[in-house]
Each structure stands twice: as C-alpha cells, then as structure tokens.
Structure 1
Amino acid sequence: MREAEVLTRYKAWADDLFLAALSSLPDTELTAPRSIVFGSLLRTLNHSYQMDCVWKCHLLGKPHGLTTRNPDDCPELEELIVRQRSIDEWYVNYANTIAENELKEIVEFEFIGGETGRMNRRDILLHVVNHTTYHRGQAAGILYQINVTPPATDFPVFLRETKAGTW
C-alpha cells in the first residue's frame, strides 16, 4: 500500500473512532463555549470537516464557496459524523485511484483569506491528514478538561489495530 493510501485510511479510522466516542456526550458539552479558536468542541470538529471539503475542491479544481474558516453553519454531531465519514471515504478512494505521477502534480489554489498557494497533490493529502490530527488533539484537550478520556488515535495504534502494513 502506498503512503497516500495508508495516511487517508488512518485519517478515516481516527476520525471515526474519535467522533464515535463523542456520541455519548450531552449536546451541552459539545456546544459549550470553550477558550479555543473555533469556540466549542463541535465547531472545532466542524472546522476540520469544512477544511477537508476545501482541500477536496482544490484537488478537483473547483470553487469551495467558503469565505471563513469558521462557518456559521454547524451541524449537530450525528450529521457531522455522516458528513465526515463521507468525505473520509472520498479521500480514501482518491488515494486508492490516483496514479503515482499524478501525486507529483502541482495544484494552484486560493486560500480562504485570498492569498494564492501551490502544492503538489501528495503534500495536499499529507496536509489534510495532519490538519485533522492537529484539531483532534485540540478536541482531546477539551475532553480531558471535562474528565473524559479520548480514544487513542495515534498512527502506531492504527497500524497495530488494522495491520495496515508498511509502505
């Protein structure tokens, strides 16, 4: 299995495990104001999802339509889980089907703030995985503050539990 395939599968696994663990939390904990850039646990995870959508659009060369990294529209957890699973599946399928030489192709895009950027497709996939890991870490910090132990979503745990193998 190639690097991009392993990493997108890791992201899907970790997202699913983490979001499923939140299902037992009351909505009041998910939406409670927190001293975090996106304002709440749920909005932090929605940001990750929304940015997954933005990067998918960049990969496809389509406009994403967002003007902010923290959109007003924030679904309830159940809907966010459905949406996140769907986009994670898209990334897994994308990584499974993209040719090695296509991973080197440069994609030009516009950041939400208006500046332009250029990255190859491999680096975009790496960023998508890394970005979500970062925000899962922020969300895990919130869970610890409310005395909830988050699931272990470390990459070595994924490799051990799924026997994803080496690249």
Structure 2
Amino acid sequence: MSDVKTMTRYKAWADEVFLARIAQLSEEQLVAPQPILFGNMLRTLHHSYAMDRVWQAHLLGEAHGYTTRNPDNPPSFDVLHQMQLAMDAWYVTYADALNTETLGQIVEFEFIGGGDGAMSRGDILLHVVNHTTYHRGHVADMLYHCAVFPPTTDLPVFLRENRTHGV
C-alpha cells in the first residue's frame, strides 16, 4: 500500500477517534473562548474541515466557495462531526483510485489569501493529513484545559491497531 493511501486512512482513523472524544464535551466547552486564531475548539475543527474541502475542490478542479481560512458560523458539532467523517471517507476513496502517475500530476490552484500555487496530487494529500494533525494538536491542548485527556492518535498506534487490515 502506498504511503498516501496509508496516510489518508490514518487521518480518517485519527479524526474518528479524536472526534469521538470531542463529542463528550458540552456546547459551552466547545465554544469557550481560547487564545488561538480560530477563537475556540469548534471553530478550529471547522477550519480543518473547511480546508479539507478547499483541497478537495482543488483536486476536483472545482470552486470551493471559501473566501477566508477562518469561516464564520461553524455548524453544530454533531453536523461538523458527520461532515468530517464523510470528508475523510472521500479522501480514502480518492487516494485508493490514484496510481503512481496520477499521484505525480500537478494541480494548479489559487490560494485563498491570493497567489497561484501548484502541487502534485500526492503532495496535496500529504498536506491535508499534516494540516489536520497540526490542528488536532491545537484542540488536544485545549482539551487539557478542560481536564479532558485527548486520545492517542499517533501514527504507530494506528499502524499497530490496523495491522490486520492490510495497512
């Protein structure tokens, strides 16, 4: 299995495990002000989802409709949770359909903040995984301040737990 396929599966697993823990929080905890650009846990999670959608649109060659990396008015956590799991499933399916040639294809796009960009499909997928991991860490830090311990979502744990599934 290619690294990209493994990593998209890792992202889906880590998001599922992590969001299950977040689901235990109250609405007040999710939207409590935090010293982070996004303002709170819910908006940080929404940012991650929104950027997954932006990169999905780039991969598909379609408009994403976002004008900011920090969109206002996130959906409820329950809705966002389901949207994120569906998005992760899309990325797994998308990665599975790629071969070595298509992984290397260059995708041209425009950054939300302006400017042209170009990355291979494989690099975009790795970025999506890395970006979510980065912000999962932000939210994990916020969980500690709520006296909630985040689940372990390290890659070696995923690999150990999924060894029998061909990952």
TM-score where L is the length of structure 1 = 0.97
Contact 1:159 1:165 in 2 (8 A): no
SS at match of 1:119: strand
The number of residue pairs the alignment matches comes to 166
Amino acid at match of 2:68: T
| Residue in structure 1 matched with residue 63 of structure 2 by the alignment | 63
The percentage of counterpart residues that share the same residue type is 57
**Structure 1 residue 73: deviation in Å?**
2.7
SS at match of 2:108: strand
1:74-153 superposed matches below 5 A: 74-153=74-153
**Structure 1 residue 86: deviation in Å?**
0.6
Contact 1:14 1:153 in 2 (8 A): yes
| Residue in structure 1 matched with residue 28 of structure 2 by the alignment | 28
Structure 2 alignment gaps of length 5 or more: none
RMSD of aligned residue pairs (Cα, Å): 1.0
| Residue in structure 1 matched with residue 54 of structure 2 by the alignment | 54
| Residue in structure 1 matched with residue 2 of structure 2 by the alignment | 2
**Structure 1 residue 115: deviation in Å?**
1.0
| Residue in structure 1 matched with residue 17 of structure 2 by the alignment | 17
Amino acid at match of 1:142: M
Distance in 1 between the 2:11 and 2:150 partners?
16
**Structure 1 residue 145: deviation in Å?**
1.3
SS at match of 1:152: coil
Amino acid at match of 1:107: V
**Structure 1 residue 165: deviation in Å?**
5.5
SS at match of 1:12: helix
Amino acid at match of 1:81: H
SS at match of 1:9: helix
TM-score where L is the length of structure 2 = 0.97
Distance in 1 between the 2:128 and 2:33 partners?
26
